[in-house]
């Protein structure tokens, strides 16, 4: 891996050169006009720091817990599909990167390696299983029981994929969703084979996006597992209150990296509304557009307990497999520490509770 890869954006540029045009398109695409993909990154610029200086910041503690598991820094790996496009061992390398640093990884239901293979090859790491709940509950129950047996630490239920978003990205073969070029989602197929033996990749995927999931699906999931449950895809106070009502352990504020409904608010702009509605009744986590330590500091100051990172991990895997993903996490971790020192805070708690440490740019004018 090149020594010149020192910022996350370097990994992005290098990854684009190294991966196939199909792979680049699949990983980077959003839906429709990609307004939300773009805004997810741009919106951080509208949130500004108001530092407190001359405070002791020589030692900074950034350890926290996510769904009850201890992690040394508040940056985890978001569930993203199809890591075999990026590196030979696919999600096994991703999990090993997280494990080597002691942080957590969410394994996508569409992963190219099964949850059992990943657990076997990264046994010590904190791992959560991503799941979507559909009409065929036997299938999902089978998947949930596999995850429990393999030692996963909890479930992340994605709720913003009732159907697949309208992807306008055009692949080199002229199609807008190049299913045929994807490696099989062996993780999902390991469960579908028991219930729908003739199901292929495309049908299995479409089965999981059949628009049948409703809020009571969370109660059903709760009834079949004791592991913690986080719901991913919350963007509004209305949805946050529903999630609290259904007794989830955590909420992930997310718009799926702009791949589902285009035209939502940027993820970071949605965070304060959700945090306020939840009012401490469950953990709030966050993803979307994180590329720098300053982005993470802003998310935590606005109420997130920890953040999840999507595309930057994929860029790391393309550039250097396990070591590449590990390096991306280290860069973000180290940048977060420096940002906190420059802000004058030495713990995540101080970052979150110091009043007006991060404010919307309109703050200045409202005070004049
Ligand atoms: C290639 C790709 C595949 C993804 N697959 C999934 C998935 O299987 N399940 C899911 O809940 N989210 C999925 N996501 C969304 C991520 O979990 C996360 O919400 C998003 O990537 C965060 O934005 P970021 O990429 O700007 O960090 C995917 C995102 C990408 C880029």
pTM over 0.85: yes
Q: Is there an atom of ligand 1 within 6 Å of 39 CB?
A: no
Residue to probe by mutation, ligand 1, list 94, 256, 309, 325, most atoms within 8 Å of CB: 256
Between 204 and 347, the higher pLDDT residue: 347
End-to-end CA distance of the chain: 50
**Paired strand residues for 49:** 358
Which residue range forms the structural domain that includes residue 42? 8-367
2 located within any domain: no
Q: Of all protein residues, whose CA lies closest to atom 29 belonging to ligand 1?
A: 80
Between CA 17 and CA 318 the distance in angstroms is 10
Give the torsion sign (CA, 49, 55, 58, 62): negative
Query: What 8-state DSSP symbol labels residue 213?
Result: -
Q: Is there an atom of ligand 1 within 6 Å of 233 CB?
A: no
| Count of the separate structural domains present in the chain | 1
307 located within any domain: yes
The 10s digit of each residue's pLDDT in 103-148 is 999 999 999 999 999 999 999 999 999 999 988 899 999 999 999 9
Measured between alpha carbons, how far is residue 314 from residues 23, 176, 320, 328, 352 in Å?
A: 10, 21, 10, 10, 29
User: Distance from the CA of 78 to the center of ligand 1, in angstroms?
Assistant: 6
Q: Looking at the CA of residue 109, tell me the nearest atom of ligand 1.
A: 8
> What is the CATH number for 249?
3.20.20.70
The 10s digit of each residue's pLDDT in 23-57 is 999 999 999 999 999 999 999 999 999 999 999 99
In this structure, the number of other CB atoms found within 10 A of the CB of residue 259 comes to: 22
Q: Is there an atom of ligand 1 within 6 Å of 311 CB?
A: yes
pLDDT for position 178? 64
Between CA 268 and CA 315 the distance in angstroms is 22
121 located within any domain: yes
Reported as a pLDDT band with limits 50, 70 and 90, residue 257 is: very high
38 is catalytic: no
């Amino acid at each position: 891996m090149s020594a010149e890869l020192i910022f996350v954006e370097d990994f992005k540029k290098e990854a684009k050169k190294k991966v196939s045009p199909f792979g680049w398109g699949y990983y980077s695409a959003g839906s429709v006009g990609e307004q939300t993909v773009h805004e997810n990154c741009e919106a951080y610029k509208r949130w500004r720091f108001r530092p407190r200086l001359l405070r002791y910041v020589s030692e900074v503690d950034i350890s926290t817990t996510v769904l009850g598991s201890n992690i040394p820094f508040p940056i985890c790996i978001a569930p993203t599909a199809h890591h075999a496009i990026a590196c030979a061992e696919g999600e096994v390398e991703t999990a090993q990167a997280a494990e080597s640093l002691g942080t957590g990884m969410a394994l996508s239901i569409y992963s190219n390696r099964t949850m059992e293979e990943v657990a076997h090859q990264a046994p010590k790491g904190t791992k959560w299983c991503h799941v979507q709940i559909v009409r065929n509950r036997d299938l999902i129950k089978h998947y949930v029981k596999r995850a429990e047996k393999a030692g996963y630490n909890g479930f992340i239920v994605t709720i913003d994929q009732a159907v697949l978003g309208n992807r306008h990205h055009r692949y080199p073969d002229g199609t807008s969703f190049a299913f045929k070029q994807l490696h099989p989602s062996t993780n999902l197929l390991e469960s579908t084979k028991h219930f729908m033996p003739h199901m292929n990749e495309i049908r299995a995927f479409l089965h999981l996006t059949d628009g049948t999931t409703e809020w009571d699906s969370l109660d059903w999931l709760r009834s079949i597992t004791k592991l913690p449950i986080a719901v991913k895809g919350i963007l509004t106070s209305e949805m946050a209150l529903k999630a609290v009502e259904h007794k989830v352990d955590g909420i992930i504020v997310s718009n799926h990296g702009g791949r589902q409904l285009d035209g939502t608010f940027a993820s970071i702009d949605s965070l304060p509304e959700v945090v306020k509605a939840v009012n401490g009744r469950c953990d709030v986590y966050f993803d979307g557009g994180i590329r720098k330590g300053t982005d993470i500091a802003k998310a935590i100051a606005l109420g997130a307990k920890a953040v999840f990172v999507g595309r930057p991990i994929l860029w790391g895997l393309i550039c250097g497999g396990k070591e590449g993903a590990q390096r991306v996490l280290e860069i973000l971790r180290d940048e977060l520490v420096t940002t906190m020192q420059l802000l004058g805070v030495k713990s995540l708690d101080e970052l979150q509770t110091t009043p007006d440490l991060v404010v919307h740019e309109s703050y200045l004018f409202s005070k004049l």
